[in-house]
Chains A and B, each alone.
Chain A
């Protein structure tokens, strides 16, 4: 199926180049460790919260079908230490997101990196002091 979901690329390249954040609360068991999905989408909600934030965005394929993705980050205070903020996204923003998806095939994952509309890439590394 040809989709705008750009590609699912895994393992060798992705593992070596994207650093994994520390998701301290909610475990690793659900995730397809090492797998990466990168896609373009439209932000529908940026839930800034404790103990975890999550980003909701819609991804449309060439047939017009829309997948409603939700991907978590760590909590708000922790994300500030990584250079993110409550105002990082607003509904309607066009972004490119890389996630580590869950194993069960649902459009769910955890955020590894986002490229904002202005071209800025935000990752999960902590800012250096």
Chain B
């Protein structure tokens, strides 16, 4: 066998076999740099760390957890099935834009027309990086409900007798849900990225939040695939604390301008409680870094063959 072929084989083994290990055992060190296990001692496997670089201690151990406290969502919650579960690149978890008829929202003619003007990077009509009109691609805020339906990561709740405040890891945004019994403003003062939210406890462990007055212009998309929203949208979020350590989120979209009837975008998305001393890692869209990314990577990747 020629030397180069042998080298290729070695690298093939070195690269591909550990990939199984990384998937199954989370980035373990390379077990075999050569085919006969004559490599030096492997490097230490990386451990999950928080924003302070401290090891993450799982709060949930699989044991039966305590009952949920009454009217209390306080704490740091993360996707129960891992950090990737809330990313939802192809649209909401339960309504991805995958071509299946049952995942097609009930568009109005205006909704369908608006959808077609959005050049998304994901979904059935995805375009190349350089052609997208996704506002988030240039760091515009996600707003609501996209904050639930794209990049839902660590989500921290603070609350008092008047309000529940949610801090989102992605974009490092926060919003207030008023639980003091107030009604919506008779006239919305101005459209806001995260709208105007009121919440009521439906039972001891379920907070139902309604939001109106969100942005209805072209800078607000419902999800990563460019589904539309209007200023007539009403979003319902149901935060149900299943037990002490588990929370479920259900999101329903009611936007009569864009959709003929309400539809559930996210159904009982599972989250779990993180340790109270976990420091959420900073995660923001940085315009200057985005510009460099587009210039040195995205635009080149988007060039068509022969250009």
Contact = CB atoms under 8 A, between A and B. Distances in A.
B283 interface: yes
Contact of B126 (A29, A50, A78, A128): A29
Q: Interface size class for chain A? A: 35 or more
B155 interface: no
Q: Interface size class for chain B? A: 35 or more
A51 B285 contact: yes
Given A24-B89, A47-B292, A104-B307, A127 B48 contact: yes
Interface in B131-145: 132, 136-137, 139
B22 A28 contact: no
Nearest to A54: B297
A74 to B, nearest CB: 9
A76 to B, nearest CB: 8
B87 A22 contact: yes
Contacts of A128: 25-26, 48
Which residue of A23, A27, A96, A116 has the most chain B CB atoms within 10 A of its CB atom? Answer: A27
Given A51-B139, A51-B290, A96-B14, 5 more contacts: A22-B87, A51-B289, A54-B296, A127-B47, A128-B25
Interface of B: 4, 7-8, 11-12, 14-16, 18-23, 25-27, 29-30, 33, 39-40, 42-43, 45-49, 56, 58, 82-84, 87-89, 120-122, 126-129, 132, 136-137, 139, 150-151, 169, 224, 281-286, 289-290, 292-293, 296-298, 300-305, 307
Interface of A: 2, 6-7, 9, 13-14, 17-19, 22-31, 38, 40, 47, 49-52, 54, 70, 72, 75-78, 80-84, 96, 98, 102-106, 108, 112-113, 115-116, 118-129
30 contacts: A6-B11, A9-B12, A19-B23, A24-B89, A28-B122, A31-B301, A47-B292, A49-B286, A50-B283, A50-B285, A51-B289, A54-B296, A70-B297, A81-B281, A83-B45, A96-B11, A104-B303, A104-B307, A108-B300, A113-B15, A115-B14, A118-B43, A119-B29, A119-B40, A120-B42, A121-B21, A122-B22, A123-B18, A127-B27, A129-B48
